[in-house]
């Protein structure tokens, strides 16, 4: 008798986790749009920074230091840290498991204006 081991699939998101992941996405999106208002170079730097954060290529503390270099000090810093601590690990897991696409959470582009 053979026993086949299959990788464990993380459970689906709870409603609270879903909300936190999307709040984090909106906050990161806002940071990209804020950088875009300061020029295309800052926008591209912020996009790269967000991608590095989401894809585990940098820690939250490194991200915080680098984003302050791009945007300057910000009153949303504490909010960002709180969301990152709770939602970033979930977001990373969902993206790695292919249950969530980054584009579903962060638009990486200008938000269409309401007419």
The tokens describing 40, both together, are 């295309």
Helix axes 77-96, 15-37, angle to 10 degrees: 120
Domain ranges of the chain: 15-104
- What pLDDT is attached to residue 46? 93
**Domain 15-104 of CATH type 1.10.10:** no
User: For each of the chain's 115 residues, which pLDDT tens digit applies?
Assistant: 555 544 455 567 888 888 888 888 888 888 899 899 999 999 999 999 999 999 988 999 899 889 889 988 877 677 777 778 889 999 999 888 888 888 888 876 554 444 4
In Å, how far are 30, 81, 106, 109 from 112, measured between CA atoms?
13, 28, 14, 9
Q: What is the pLDDT of residue 54?
A: 92
Taking Cα atoms as reference points, which of 77, 105, 108 lies closest to residue 91?
105
How far, in Å, CA of 55 to CA of 102, rounded? 10
CB-CB contact of 36 with 49 (8 Å)? no
Distance, in Å, from the CA atom of 5 to the CA atom of 58, rounded to the nearest integer, reads 32
């Amino acid at each position: 008798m053979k026993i086949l081991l299959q990788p464990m699939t993380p459970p689906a998101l709870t409603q609270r986790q879903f909300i936190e992941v999307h709040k984090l996405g909106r906050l990161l999106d806002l940071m990209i749009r804020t950088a875009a208002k300061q020029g295309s170079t800052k926008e591209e730097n912020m996009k790269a920074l967000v991608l590095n954060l989401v894809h585990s290529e940098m820690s939250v503390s490194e991200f915080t230091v680098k984003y302050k270099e791009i945007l300057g000090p910000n009153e949303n810093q504490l909010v960002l840290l709180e969301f990152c601590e709770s939602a970033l690990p979930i977001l990373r897991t969902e993206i790695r498991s292919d249950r969530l696409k980054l584009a579903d959470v962060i638009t990486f582009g200008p938000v269409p204006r309401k007419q």
